[in-house]
Amino acid sequence: MTKGLLDIEALDRPEIESLLQRAKDFQPLQQMREKRLDLLDGRLVVNLFFEPSTRTRISFEIAAKRLGADALSITAQGTSVSKGETLLDTVSTLSAMRPDVIVMRHAASGAPHFLARHLPIPIINAGDGQHEHPTQALLDARTILDNRPSLEGLRVAIIGDILHSRVARSNIHLLSKFGVDLVLCGPAPLVPQELKALAPGVSITYDIKEALRNTDIIMMLRVQLERQNETNFPAGEYSRFYGLRAENLALAKPDAIVMHPGPMNRGREISTEVADSSRSVILSQVENGIAVRMAVLERVLQ
Amino acid sequence: MPKLLIRNGRVIDPANGIDRVADVLLAGDIIRGVGDNLPSRGAEVFDATGLIVAPGFIDMHVHLREPGFESSETIESGSRAAAVGGFTSVCCMPNTNPVNDTPHLTRYIIERARAVAKVNVFPIGAITKGSAGEELASIGAMQAAGTVAISDDGRPVMNSRVMRRAMEIASSFDILVIDHCEDLNLSAGGDMHEGKASLRYGLRGIPACSEDVMVARDILLAEVTGARYHVAHLSTKNAIAMVAEAKRRGLRVTCEVTPHHFAIHDMEIIPYDSNFKMKPPIRCSHDVEAMIEGIKAGVIDAIATDHAPHSVTDKMQEFERCPFGILGLETAIGISLERLVHAGHISINRMIELFTTGPAGVLKLNRGSLSPGLPADVTILDPNSKWTYDVNKSPSKSRNSPYDGHTFTGRAVATIVSGELVWQA
């Protein structure tokens, strides 16, 4: 990783392994009374969020503070963006104030890649449109490794709106690099067959039972109604065919774990019973987000 | 009357079956003739030894942005880019502001071009008023004013009934109907070709079928109405198969392809670089292969650039916010030589047809050959000289080309319009 973190696709396996290992070092800190290190003392992390986000923004903010850095969060509504300034001008103005890194979320796929081509400041992608959400995939991998000895050979089902999901894309790239058997499942318009070409080891089914059978890890995706300004599937029957409930969860391995990047739609893609069960590691994902983002910030700012 | 003798070049004039070393004599703005050792008395001499002398190249699909978008291009700047690119004639699309949907505006463009343009400019008029797809524009009156074809390029006529009526009118006036084939419902929100690359980059797709269904509809309407119908910037395998079938059945259907659609496929684009964003989008490799096959098989009638200047400000944005379109006039010959001729797919003679007799035939323009008495438009090529495209030196007012910095083999070295040398390398 030379500069920033734009996507998982460009990372190689050793880079990912070392980030996950470093995140593991930071995990115990989260339970301690004194949580602050001074590894990034005096550095400034700017969180620039052009899309509403609570958990990712706060998670980065906490991660920066636990490393001793200063953190500043900007939500783009109400800034110069609304005055018609271009993205490039907004971010180059901001970088003239010499922060050490910009953590950015933007609704346009590739927005951080575009900026990274024109600006020298390191950029960490905190989610770009429908493209990637690299720290989410890293925290998901960290969470899986807390429950399994290795990623190799696992069967992982990702269920929901794959087409529009940056979480799915980052996870597919990461898990594929570790030889995971990936099954994608959801309504056909949201799970196009060409996704099989995204990475090795990807298969597709439109039958959730087939996706769940014998699986180790179940990743449920939020059905992103805010992106659906068009008819992609019959909304009334979504949970009947693609919702995770106790009875279809029983098809998975007995120790299978259930993950969700949040925010959840209880009763739509996941039943409350499953979400709150002992199989669910959803809150561990949130907790691991801080350790993983500490590892990423440390790496980028080293 | 000033004379220009182009001496000792390899003259390739497909319309007249000429391919040999000869002289070409221009007298005033008219071609006098092609012959051996023509007398140079009183004529300025252009030594074309080692070069190819061809009829003036015609680009039947450009956007000159004037009136309305002069910060991106003007008739003057765009025509200079055309001259540098070896084109002696261009046809400008009507999506200006206001839209060219009246004889008044057609005349304005023609007069403005007469005053400032380096090359011949032939306006294309709108099919519907404001290209809004509802009420038919004054098609006959625009034709009388000098419009050479009609098109709602960029804003395709979605209402099939309106398109049918437009074709009936066009057929009765014998004016060509050009369609940018895109079902706007199927392509809505799309930024690049729908396929493996769009899925990888998380960009919304413009599916090939959004082009195919409109080509299918239009061909059926062309059959019903008897209109002369032309597919603009055709880009898909299925669309070309339908055009081939329409031609086989004797319909008056033609098509053009842009250089970028036979040169680049979607896995080769630089992700999120807006210089690769245009409509139709860069398609996948089997579509690119189908374009080359279509050129070889004679299904494709013309190469046209779809020269679409956009200002740097507009193109320096998030990919999905950037407007569609790239420059094309200065690189068309270089790309065609590289991808078609030097790659061994077609002869240079066939390439010249695609830039001369091809578009002239589609538009029924009395140009595109070196026949005596025709306007003295000549393009002189050096097919082997190496050169590197530097978009910052372009006479265009815009800079949106994916070919900046690319080294080509072969180019136009001189462009002669109405007997006047308007550009020389």
Question: For A251-283, what is each residue's pLDDT tens digit?
Answer: 999 999 999 999 999 999 999 999 999 999 999
The first and second tokens of residue B90, run together, are 């261009």
Do the Cβ atoms of B233 and B262 come closer than 8 Å? no
**How far is it, in rounded angstroms, from Cα A293 to Cα A26?**
10
List A residues 30-49 in contact with B (Cβ-Cβ < 8 A): none
Cis geometry, peptide bond prior to residue B98 (ω within 30 degrees of 0): yes
CA-nearest residue of chain A to B320? A108
Percent of chain B with pLDDT over 70: 100
Residue A259 CB neighbours (<10 A): 25
**How far is it, in rounded angstroms, from Cα B24 to Cα B379?**
12
Residue A95 CB neighbours (<10 A): 18
CB distance from A87 to chain B under 8 Å? yes
Is residue B122 one of the residues assigned to a domain?
yes
Is residue B370 one of the residues assigned to a domain?
no
Query: In angstroms, what separates the C-alpha of A127 from chain B's closest C-alpha?
Result: 11
Is residue B163 one of the residues assigned to a domain?
yes
Is residue B19 one of the residues assigned to a domain?
no
Q: In chain A, where are the structural domains located?
A: 13-132+288-301, 134-285
Closest listed residue to residue A77, CA positions, set A108, A107, A52, A45: A52
Is residue B387 one of the residues assigned to a domain?
no
- For chain A, the maximum distance between any two Cα atoms, rounded to a whole number of angstroms, is 56
Contact A114/B195, CB-based, under 8 Å? Answer: no
CA-nearest residue of chain A to B318? A111
pLDDT band at B40 (very low <50, low <70, confident <90, very high): confident
The parent domain of residue B199 ranges over: 56-363
Catalytic one of B13, B59, B212, B306: B306
SS3 category, B256: strand
pLDDT tens sequence for chain A (302 residues): 448 999 999 999 999 999 999 999 999 999 999 999 999 999 999 999 999 888 999 999 999 999 999 999 998 765 555 667 899 999 999 999 999 999 999 999 999 999 999 999 999 999 999 999 999 999 999 999 999 999 999 999 999 999 999 999 999 999 999 999 999 999 999 999 999 999 999 999 999 999 999 999 999 999 866 555 667 788 788 999 999 999 999 999 999 999 999 999 999 999 999 999 999 999 999 999 999 999 999 999 98
Chain A residues within 8 A of B271 when measuring between CB atoms: 110, 113
Q: Taking chain A, what is the end-to-end CA distance rounded to the nearest angstrom?
A: 11
Do the Cβ atoms of B153 and B183 come closer than 8 Å? no
Active site residue B183: no
Fold exhibited by the domain A13-132+288-301? Rossmann fold (3.40.50)
What pLDDT was estimated at residue B269? 96
> Would you say the CATH fold of A134-285 matches that of A13-132+288-301?
yes
Strand extents, DSSP E, B373-425: 378-388, 407-417, 420-424
Pairing of strands B52-55, B378-388: antiparallel
Handedness of CA B291, B304, B353, B223 (dihedral sign): positive
> In B55-102, which residue ranges form alpha helices assigned H by DSSP?
75-84
Question: For B239-290, what is each residue's pLDDT tens digit?
Answer: 999 999 999 999 999 999 999 999 999 999 999 999 999 999 999 999 999 9
Pairing of strands B229-231, B176-179: parallel
Domain count, chain B: 1
What pLDDT was estimated at residue A227? 56
DSSP secondary structure, B324-381, as one string: S----TTTHHHHHIIIIITTTSS-HHHHHHHHTHHHHHHHT-S-SS--TTSB--EEEE
SS3 category, B126: coil
Contact B317/A9, CB-based, under 8 Å? Answer: no
Among candidates B189, B199, B204 on the partner chain, residue whose Cβ is nearest the Cβ of A195: B199
Query: In angstroms, what separates the C-alpha of A258 from chain B's closest C-alpha?
Result: 25
| Number of A–B residue contacts, CB under 8 Å | 63
pLDDT band at B399 (very low <50, low <70, confident <90, very high): very high
Chain A residues within 8 A of B284 when measuring between CB atoms: none
Among candidates A108, A163, A195 on the partner chain, residue whose Cβ is nearest the Cβ of B319: A108
Contact A86/B313, CB-based, under 8 Å? Answer: yes
CB distance from B196 to chain A under 8 Å? yes
Is residue B16 one of the residues assigned to a domain?
no
**How far is it, in rounded angstroms, from Cα A297 to Cα A300?**
5
Is residue B377 one of the residues assigned to a domain?
no
Contact B203/A169, CB-based, under 8 Å? Answer: no
Closest listed residue to residue A122, CA positions, set A231, A43, A18, A16: A43
CB distance from B321 to chain A under 8 Å? yes
CB distance from A86 to chain B under 8 Å? yes
CATH number at residue B247: 3.20.20.140
CATH code for the structural domain at A134-285: 3.40.50.1370
CB distance from A184 to chain B under 8 Å? no
